[in-house]
């Protein structure tokens, strides 16, 4: 596990240095104004590889994601059985796709490829567990699940229609 050091920057704010097991470092400077700067230092260089400046609300949003508040990955030991047998893929439905404008049932995706559409992302809306009557629209992102073979079948099927 890496180490974290903190140092006060009088009149400016605080500096946090995260040193990872790899030897790389991530430096976060939080100014009294709320501005944040993040620097990534490769263990082989003295100069930062890159830096990012963030406003307070952007930093809070990033912290929310890093903390796993929205998404908690399944521990690897619990996914071994799942991942050997099934995988998930996200596929964007591009303009002109023959799948667009037809329902899931009309497209017969499960019958033709063996995958199941478990969700559709449409604009900012998520449609979980869409039924056979749900329409597929241009711009949708289909979240599909299946075996490695069925995912390949679906992606091959999609290549004919320039979906991916």
Higher pLDDT, 160 or 4: 4
User: Of 33-37, 43-47, 91-95, 156-160, which gets the smallest average pLDDT?
Assistant: 156-160
Does residue 71 belong to any structural domain of this protein? no
The reply to whether 45 falls in a domain is yes
Q: How many domains does the chain have?
A: 2
Range of 123's domain? 76-159
The predicted pLDDT at position 14 comes to 93
In a domain, 164, yes or no: no
How large is the average pLDDT for residues 113-132? Answer: 91
Say which residues have a Cβ less than 8 Å from residue 136's Cβ, sequence separation at least 6: 93, 99, 100, 101, 102, 103, 104, 107, 120, 142
Task: Please give the model's pTM, rounded to 2 decimal places.
Answer: 0.49
Give the end of a domain, one of 22, 48, 66. 66
């Amino acid at each position: 596990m890496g180490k974290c050091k903190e140092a006060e920057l009088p009149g400016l704010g605080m500096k946090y240095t995260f040193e990872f097991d790899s030897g790389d470092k991530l430096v976060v400077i939080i100014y009294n104004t709320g501005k944040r700067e993040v620097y990534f230092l490769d263990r082989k260089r003295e100069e930062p590889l890159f830096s990012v400046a963030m406003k307070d609300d952007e930093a809070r949003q990033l912290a929310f994601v890093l903390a796993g508040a929205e998404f908690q990955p399944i521990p690897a030991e619990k996914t071994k059985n799942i991942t050997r047998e099934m995988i998930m893929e996200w596929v964007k439905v591009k303009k002109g796709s023959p799948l667009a404008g037809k329902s899931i049932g009309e497209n017969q995706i499960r019958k033709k490829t063996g995958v199941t559409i478990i969700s559709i992302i449409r604009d900012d809306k998520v449609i979980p567990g869409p039924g056979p009557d749900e329409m597929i629209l241009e711009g949708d992102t289909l979240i599909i699940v299946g075996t490695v073979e069925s995912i390949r079948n679906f992606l091959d099927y999609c290549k004919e229609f320039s979906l991916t």
